[in-house]
Amino acid sequence: MTAIKRVFMVDGKPFFPIGGQSCNSSGYNALEAEQAFKIVKMLNGNTLEIPVYWEQVEPQEGKFDFTALDALLASARRYDMKLILLWFASWKNGNMDYAPKWVKTDTKRFKRVKAQSGKDVWDLSSHCKANMEADKKAFVALCKHLKMKDGANRTVIAIQIENEQGIIGSDRDYGPEAQAEFDRPVPAKLVAAMKKAGKGRIYDIWQKSGAKKSGTWPEMFGFEAGELMTAWSISCYVDSIAEAGKAAYDIVLYTNVWLMEQHGWVRAGESYPSGGGVSKVLDIYKWYTPHLDFIAPDNYQLDSKGFEEVCANYAREDNPFFMPETIGDPNMFRAMADFNCLGNFFFGVEILLDPDGVVRPERQTTIDCIRCTAAAAPLLLQYQGTGKIHAFVQEDNVPTWEKELDGFSILAEYGDKRAPWSGKDWRHRTPGWMPVPQTKFKPAYGLVIQSSKNEFYFVGANIRFFLRPQLTPDTVGSSQLIGDSISQNFSFIVSVDEGHFDNNGEFVIDRKRNGDEIGRRGFWVEPDINVLRVITCD
């Protein structure tokens, strides 16, 4: 059992945010945002992530305009949806595209990062106090405005500060202020934290570099010093903004990460922004961002191994695990079942439909995954961390999934290979009742939740479950095990119901199954049935 820190709350109750993130330009006006709201609603999602832009909010220094934000609040309430705002400010994907014009053009006051060549990089320097103070002032104005307009409703449940911060174009800032910092001793607080930890990536880099008691950044950290100093500097910058923002309005604050876990070259400042909260420097971020609720990975990994590696790196005891951007594939079930993910969002929801409003066929799996998650949200809130939730995701060439549960063995078959006697009902049965060669790979995925010994909940797609009581010496060889090849469901069934959860978390039956559609032919699950509940008895 893992203690879960539920960061997201609505009306005093734990909340599981699920939905999508809009495309980058959809927050500029309500008309643009409309499509994103509509699609999250279609997904049965409860939350839209959408940007708020520093350049739009403060077009002239000190003059704030929150018209676009107010329109977003009104739309969200109309759609009965929550918002997570993304503060696109000093950094967006390792650059400074969303800083206002008066910041971009005043390079004397608002210093940019200098590359080793002495040339400007398209990044605000984290070593320039004026940059941080200007961003902070605007962020505090945003928080105060939200408190006034949304303090009672709490339509906005969290704010992401910056977006994938860090430097693209250099491993560090080589300007005079940054250079002076580089040549100063590493802060004593960092050295003490590292020693206290006694393990971890930063600790290991320090050990490899000679484990000196004190020294400048390069003396302490060798060739990784540039990235580590930048991570320290940017995490302090972001935390200072978070501290001021939280003081103005108490709300969940976090920052997201362009990851270093990827295929290809891995170089700070080149293949990912140097100074962002990548797993290598996550310890520094945790030591220096006490005002952020968590650091969140944008998990676009497609392969299950890579995906799980990211989950493992960020789901730490000191870091509640949330994925603000994903590719929306079935791996998300692993994140929720095995890593207690607190919520996840598909990036770019608008692309799920074509301009005529028709689902793009290649996006159906994403739509189904989000719908399944939305259907299971009350179960996730109740059972994450208890060991009762199990995810299955089909891998190439693997036809089944097996698991020992409390008192039961479960066998799940992927796909439709038992089509002729599948027992699926007329809505899902293969036309003609005849086996159809499996030419296209349609993935199976989902969750099994055993809430008590004889109660099971299922969500997912393209799967059929068989349950049987665990074998004991006296049941081996008994008649209970006799059956033909399709009769593996040896449990005594009380009821099999499709349904959903109401606002009080109670299961509401929408459709009952019996006869051909249950039992010996297995319990099939598809996304459009919401949740399947199976009750067994001894």
Residues that bind ligand DGJ (CB under 6 A): 24, 93, 163-164, 298, 325, 347
The smaller minimum CB distance to ligand DGJ, of residues 23 and 419, is found at: 23
The smaller minimum CB distance to ligand DGJ, of residues 298 and 416, is found at: 298
The smaller minimum CB distance to ligand DGJ, of residues 29 and 93, is found at: 93
CB of 249 to ligand DGJ, least distance (A): 24
CB of 329 to ligand DGJ, least distance (A): 15
CB of 275 to ligand DGJ, least distance (A): 15
The smaller minimum CB distance to ligand DGJ, of residues 295 and 463, is found at: 295
The smaller minimum CB distance to ligand DGJ, of residues 95 and 489, is found at: 95
Q: How far apart are CA 178 and CA 188, in angstroms?
A: 18
CB of 278 to ligand DGJ, least distance (A): 14
CB of 25 to ligand DGJ, least distance (A): 10
CB of 256 to ligand DGJ, least distance (A): 6
User: What is the token pair recorded at 448?
Assistant: 């099994």
Percent of the chain that is helix, strand, coil (3-state, to 5): 35, 25, 40
Query: Measuring CA to CA, which residue among 458, 464, 504 is closest to residue 488?
Result: 464
Q: How far apart are CA 59 and CA 54, in angstroms?
A: 8
Contact 70, 149 (CB under 8 A): yes
Q: What is the largest CA-CA distance in the chain?
A: 86
Contact 376, 447 (CB under 8 A): yes
Long-range pairs, 352-361, Cβ under 8 A, ≥24: 352/20, 352/39, 352/43, 353/39, 353/42
Bridge partners (DSSP) of residue 353 are 359
The smaller minimum CB distance to ligand DGJ, of residues 269 and 527, is found at: 269
Q: Which residue is nearest to ligand DGJ (CB)?
A: 164
Residue 531: how many other CB atoms lie within 10 Å: 24
The smaller minimum CB distance to ligand DGJ, of residues 123 and 164, is found at: 164
Sequential DSSP letters for 394-424: PPTT--EEEEE-SSEEEEEEETTTTGGG---
Residue 456: how many other CB atoms lie within 10 Å: 24
CB of 326 to ligand DGJ, least distance (A): 11
